[in-house]
Amino acid sequence: MEQPAAPLPNDFIRDIIDEDLKTGKNLGRVATRFPPEPNGYIHIGHAKSVCLNFGLAGQYRGTCNLRMDDTDPLGESMEFVESIIRDVRWLGFDWGDRLFYASDYFEKLYAFAVELIKKGDAYVCDLNADEMREHRGTFTEPGKASPYRNRSIDENLDLFARMRRGEFADGSRTLRAKIDMGSANIVMRDPVLYRIKREPHYRTGNAWVIYPMYDFAHCLSDALEGITHSICTLEFENNRPLYDWIVARLIEKDRPRQIEFARLNLSYTVLSKRRLIELVQKKYVSGWDDPRMPTVTGMRRRGYTPEAIRQFCQAIGVAKNDNLIDVALLEHCVREDLNEKAPRAMCVLRPLKIILDDYPEGKVEQIQCANHPQRPDMGTRRVPFSRELYIEQDDFLEDPPKKYNRLAPGREVRLRNAYIIKFERLVKDEQSGRIIEIHCSHDPATKDGPPADGRKVQGVIHWVSARHAVTAEVRIYDRLFRIADPGSEEDFLKDLNPDSLEELAGCQAEESLRDSAPGSRYQFERLGYFCVDEKDTKPGKPVFNRIVPLRDSWAKISDKK
């Protein structure tokens, strides 16, 4: 795993760990874990947790486990397990041989539950869900004890064993911790530890009809793995006393400690798994890997780099209070990283034909172009130039405003890496009035430098040779949601951005992009960063995803609306 070059600024979690190391707690060990439930694909919020947990292990020379928190059979699957493994690895982290499954602990967790019963700390309760809710009380009123609270230990042991054997109907009985129905913290009012659920589990099949609740399974899984710092998001703050209560009763020494941090909230984005599942199932997006999704697989397909995502997670840091991070920061990190790494290329999205009347027909020049303006180590490539070219439709205006420094009647413009050309005449479709082609002349003395007569030509535009260009499809992505905080006012689906995807067919890319490897990334001159789509690209038929524009165009677009 990569080590950070400079020491990271300390946050409150690192302060806690430093203190633990100073006092010799856990014998100087730092053991963390990333514990996803395999019921969906992981997203940028999970990436924050991944970077934090693996980052701490790296920084303190400790360990970080990858643990599937798979104790609720509903919705969990091997597909999700595999995706999580692939995504965490892609983010750049390595758990060695420490991949674990909470479902592997079912037998041990059952034994822990039996131990709690034997200590008089848990009981089998026959209240159904509604009755239990009635007994639970509210924030202002204490709860009422269940009539089954004082069953004998023997009766509890017998009933719990029979729950496991499948003698009782789903929901008819639970195992509950015997804590305090009068506690100010509702979590501590005899929480359920086990429930009956006849649901096959993707790993244990039909072996179990009772499943442990998250609060019971999670802390004990941590303890079984020797986790020292169990880092989770703020919504578990109220559950911490229960975490400590269970661990104090069942674990002798080296008890893990739960620490909560603020989850990532990102503007123009939803990060709730339930909502992401809804987007996929109702086909608002093409799948978990739709490049507009905030999932790791979606960001990968879009062309984001793991380095950029890690940089983002480092930049936002960890805090104790919930906040909303501007998605523009993530895009900024992506842009910064790609600016360094992405080779440059030319591609015309909306082609307009240019004919150089004074350029010999059949002649082809191979122009040597730098792949990166600041990085000679990235080499050069040959880009063919010929009499017929394509430029962008909006790089020509028939009646331009003064400041327009692209091509127009009577004007000259520089073709990137090539000649200065001059407008001569245009040809329109007689019926529609649409411009079909533009005839220009070129100044042969300007290929490698400014014009000899010192005249100024301001604009530089990109182009491709028509004969050599490869036809490509380009997908322009915008944010999936129209507003910064989707779902805050009404149904989040109503906040979807109807223009989040624009598919452009018939784009013309320079010849060198014909067989570019799926997944490779480029800066298309003047347009932004693009990635060769891994799924839909066919040999000789590239599909490009726009990763990010060169500048943040969102402000401009939203002004217009």
Q: Is 404 exposed, middle or buried (0-12, 13-18, 19+ CB in 10 A)?
A: middle
Residue with Cβ nearer ligand ATP (84 or 547): 84
Q: Which stretch binds ligand ATP (CB under 6 A): 42-50, 204-212, 467-475, 491-499?
A: 42-50
The stretch near ligand ATP (CB under 6 A) out of 30-38, 93-101, 139-147, 372-380 is 30-38
36 near ligand ATP, judged by CB under 6 A: yes
Q: Whole-angstrom Cα distance, residue 529 to residue 254?
A: 49
Handedness of CA 275, 279, 285, 288 (dihedral sign): positive
**Interface residue with ligand ATP, options 11, 37, 278, 358 (CB under 6 A):** 37
By beta carbon distance, the residue nearest ligand ATP is 45
Q: Give the SS3 label for residue 388.
A: strand
Looking at the Cβ atoms of 46 and 381, the one nearer to ligand ATP is: 46
435's tokens: 């411009």
| Nearest Cα residue to 514 out of 474, 467, 471 | 471
- The least CB distance from residue 273 to ligand ATP, in Å, is 4
CB of residue 331 to ligand ATP, shortest distance in Å: 18
Segment near ligand ATP (CB under 6 A), from 45-53, 219-227, 285-293, 472-480?
A: 45-53
The Cα–Cα gap between 347 and 508 comes to 6
Q: Which is nearer to ligand ATP, 80 or 423 (CB)?
A: 80
Kindly tell me which residue out of 35, 73, 303, 306 binds ligand ATP, with binding defined by CB under 6 A. 35
Show Cβ contacts of residue 170 under 8 Å, excluding neighbours closer than 6 positions: 196, 197, 198, 209
Strands of the sheet with 31-34, listed across from one edge: 31-34, 63-68, 99-101
Minimal distance in Å, beta carbon 132 to ligand ATP?
A: 21
Q: Is 486 in the site for ligand ATP (CB under 6 A)?
A: no
Residues of span 48-67 touching ligand ATP by CB under 6 A? 48-49
| Nearest distance from C-beta of residue 512 to ligand ATP, angstroms | 40
Among residues 7, 495, 48, 368, the alpha carbon closest in space to that of 233 is found at 48
Q: Radius of gyration (Cα) for the chain, nearest Å?
A: 31
CB of 214 to ligand ATP, least distance (A): 8
Query: Kindly report the CA angle at 376 between 415 and 343, in degrees rounded to 5?
Result: 60
Distance CA 425, CA 435 (A): 11
DSSP-derived pairing of the beta strands 347-348 and 528-532 = unpaired
* Sequence-distant contacts of 186-191: CB under 8 A, at least 24 apart: 186/136, 186/137, 186/139, 186/143, 186/238, 187/215, 187/238, 187/239, 187/241, 187/242, 188/241, 188/242, 188/245, 189/136, 189/137, 189/142, 189/143, 190/125, 190/143, 190/145, 190/146, 190/149, 191/215, 191/242
Phi, psi of 327, rounded to the nearest 5 degrees: -60, -20
Piece of 33-41, 142-150, 279-287, 379-387 that binds ligand ATP (CB under 6 A): 33-41
> Which is closer to ligand ATP, CB of 239 or CB of 465?
239
Q: Which is nearer to ligand ATP, 191 or 542 (CB)?
A: 191
Q: Can you tell me which of 30, 31, 46, 510 binds ligand ATP, judged by CB under 6 A? A: 46
Q: State the minimum distance, in angstroms, from the CB of residue 221 to ligand ATP.
A: 12
DSSP string, 303-354: T--HHHHHHHHHHH---SS-EEE-HHHHHHHHHHHHHHHPPEE-EESSEEEE
Nearer to ligand ATP, 187 or 426 (CB): 187
Provide the sign of the torsion angle of the four alpha carbons 68, 73, 75, 78, taken in this order: positive
Instruction: Let me know how long the chain is.
Output: 561
* CB closer to ligand ATP out of 66 and 352: 66
CB of 137 to ligand ATP, least distance (A): 25
Q: Site residues for ligand ATP, window 270-299 (CB under 6 A)?
A: 271, 273
Stretch that binds ligand ATP, among 31-39, 111-119, 421-429, 511-519 (CB under 6 A): 31-39
Four-point Cα dihedral 372, 337, 390, 438, nearest 10 = -100
Any idea which residues carry the catalytic annotation? Answer: 37, 263, 273
Q: Minimum distance from CB of 46 to ligand ATP (Å)? A: 5
Tell me how far, at minimum, the Cβ of 277 lies from ligand ATP, in Å.
Answer: 9
3-state SS, one letter per residue, for 239-300 = HHHHHHHHHHHHCCCCCCEEEEECCEEECCCCCCHHHHHHHHHCCCCCCCCCCCCCEHHHHH
Comparing CB distances to ligand ATP, the nearer of 176 and 273 is: 273
User: Mask 243-272, x = binds ligand ATP (CB under 6 A)?
Assistant: --------------------xx------x-
Smaller CB distance to ligand ATP: residue 67 or 387? 67
Site for ligand ATP in 213-232 (CB under 6 A): 232
Q: What is the DSSP letter of 150?
A: T
Give the per-residue contact string, 294-333, with ligand ATP (x = CB under 6 A; - = no). ----------------------------------------
Q: What is the smallest separation between the CB atom of 386 and ligand ATP, expressed in angstroms?
A: 52
* Contact with ligand ATP (CB under 6 A) among 77, 183, 204, 233: 233
Where does this chain bind ligand ATP (CB under 6 A)? 35-37, 45-46, 48-49, 232-233, 263-264, 271, 273
